[in-house]
């Protein structure tokens, strides 16, 4: 009996069909890859913070130790062609995680040193950019740092720093009144005006970065624009406290 070749019209299995669709999907195009970088940056700024916040409050050493996990993961992925970009971004994210672990773990009652600690990776990021290494991760970190700086500037301009100190010194169940007082301060003409200005600065910087064809600037844009989302979510949480 002679074996007949398979007919080209034989239907593919569902798994094979899914693989073929993914190979030819929009996300594999140049434009799709840029949006994946952008969305990944938004995810890394927006989601891990809600996991790190309770972790660093009760287990700061564990949070600090997880920085090594991020670094090892990033170094592993960056050395593989298919995962190079995400590995690069994770390495940039590791600086934000390290700074957050240090500040919120041991220094959260003092707002004045928040930004200097958040900038702990700034010399490394600048060095990496001058050497042309880790552009996606370094610009992601700089975008995240820029967003943090804008948030801190707002706190200073609207005189929210005293509320920051108070909230960090009381138990969570006792922070409701402080949150409400801070929200009232934000809802003044001065607070609303500066919120409008800061949001527009973030939008202008973030949208301007999207005009670039480089993945690194799309990572920067995602980090900057997602600052608006994170700050908005914290504002909602405080409003219902």
Delimit the domains of the chain by residue range: 33-239
**Residue reference for tokens 């995680």:** 97
87 within 8 A of 73, measured Cβ to Cβ: yes
Q: Please report, in tens digits, the pLDDT of each residue of the chain (241 residues total).
A: 445 454 455 555 656 665 565 556 776 787 889 999 999 999 999 999 888 988 998 999 999 999 999 999 999 999 998 899 999 999 999 999 999 999 999 999 999 999 999 999 999 999 999 999 999 999 999 999 999 999 999 999 999 999 999 988 888 777 888 889 999 999 999 999 999 999 999 999 999 999 999 999 999 999 999 999 999 888 887 777 6
49 within 8 A of 230, measured Cβ to Cβ: yes
- The predicted model scores a pTM of 0.88
The gap from C-alpha 220 to its chain's centroid, in whole angstroms, comes to 10
Q: What values do phi and psi take at 170, rounded to 5?
A: -115, 165
């Amino acid at each position: 009996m002679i074996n007949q070749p398979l007919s080209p019209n034989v239907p593919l299995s569902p798994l094979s069909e899914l693989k073929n669709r993914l190979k030819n999907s929009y996300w594999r195009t140049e434009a799709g890859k840029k949006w994946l970088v952008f969305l990944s940056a938004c995810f890394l700024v927006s989601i891990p913070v809600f996991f790190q916040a309770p972790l660093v409050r009760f287990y700061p050493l564990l949070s600090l130790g997880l920085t090594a996990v991020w670094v090892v993961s990033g170094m592993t992925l960056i050395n593989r062609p298919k995962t190079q970009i995400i590995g690069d971004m994770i390495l940039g994210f590791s600086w934000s995680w390290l700074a957050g672990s240090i500040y919120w773990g041991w220094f959260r009652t003092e707002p004045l040193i928040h930004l200097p600690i958040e900038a702990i990776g700034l010399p490394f990021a600048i060095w990496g950019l001058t050497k042309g290494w880790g552009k996606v991760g370094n610009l992601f970190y700089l975008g995240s740092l820029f967003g943090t700086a804008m948030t801190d500037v707002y706190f200073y301009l609207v005189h929210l720093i005293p509320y920051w100190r108070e909230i960090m010194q009381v138990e969570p169940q006792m922070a409701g009144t402080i949150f409400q007082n801070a929200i009232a301060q934000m809802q003044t003409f001065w607070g609303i005006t500066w919120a409008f200005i800061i949001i527009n600065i973030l939008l202008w910087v973030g949208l301007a970065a999207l005009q670039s064809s480089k993945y690194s600037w799309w990572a920067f844009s995602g980090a900057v624009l997602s600052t608006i989302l994170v700050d908005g979510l914290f504002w909602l949480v405080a409003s219902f406290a």
